[in-house]
Amino acid sequence: MSCVTRDDYQSAQEKAKALLRRVLPPAQWRAFASTGRVSVLGRSFRYDIDCVGRTALYDHWGVRRGVACLQLAAPAPAYDRVLAEYLILINDERFYLRTANVVRDPLSFRELVLIAVVVASAVFAFLKFLAE
Amino acid sequence: MLRSLRKLSSRGDDTVAEWDPQTLTPEDLARIDAEFRRLQAEGYFAFDITDGRNVRADRFNPQADLLMIPRVVGG
């Protein structure tokens, strides 16, 4: 019989943290050390991989568009999950988006108003065209 | 310089193999390559993390530090 002790858990966390530090570029490691997040700029989104929460997706204007959740199929420390997400994202963003569970944020009131204005303008232009 | 094949695990990571590319025998090379392929067959992704390269590695490269990541799923 074996059981996981607190020392084992801390040792695993420390090892995973050391590996993450080795893999991340120095600037990204410093950002991670101060914020707990690794930021990756992809083609579709900017991804903020969070050590304790889900990965936040931002569009290129900096507006949050949703969250993504990706898990390792085997148990591993949180730092390992951050490392896995980072390596997958910088190598194959499309695979990441296909595999992760992505939950999009609902549109904001401002965006809904903007869409309503655009649709109303199009309808108005169409009706004007029919009337002429 | 020593190179290694590691895999992520509940212990953080495990070193599967470690070798010196200068002195690696063909037998050891074949053994480590077989282990690399076995992990790939189990669904692990391989990355070359040598000196910040951080790229996917589809084949075993004895000159590289390789990290195997378990299969990932949507959470």
pLDDT of A13 higher than 70? yes
Give the count of Cβ contacts less than 8 A between chain A and B: 92
Residues of chain B with Cβ-Cβ distance to A11 below 8 Å are 11-12
Q: What is the pLDDT of residue B51?
A: 95
Distance of CA B21 to CAs A24, A83, A91, B28, B50, Å? 25, 26, 26, 11, 13
For chain B, give the mean pLDDT. Answer: 96
Instruction: Determine the average pLDDT of the residues in A74-97.
Output: 97
Rounded to 5°, the CA angle A23-A24-A30 comes to: 140
* Contact of A12 with B10, CB cutoff 8 Å: yes
Distance of CA A5 to CAs A10, A72, A128, B9, B12, Å? 9, 22, 75, 16, 14
Tell me the per-residue pLDDT of B18-36, one tens digit each, with 9 for 90 and over.
999 999 999 999 999 999 9
Best of B7, B8, B49 to disrupt the A interface by mutation (most A CBs within 10 Å)?
Answer: B8
For chain A, give the mean pLDDT. Answer: 92
Q: What is the pLDDT of residue A8?
A: 76
Instruction: Determine the average pLDDT of the residues in A6-29.
Output: 91
Q: What is the pLDDT of residue B9?
A: 94
pTM of the model: 0.86
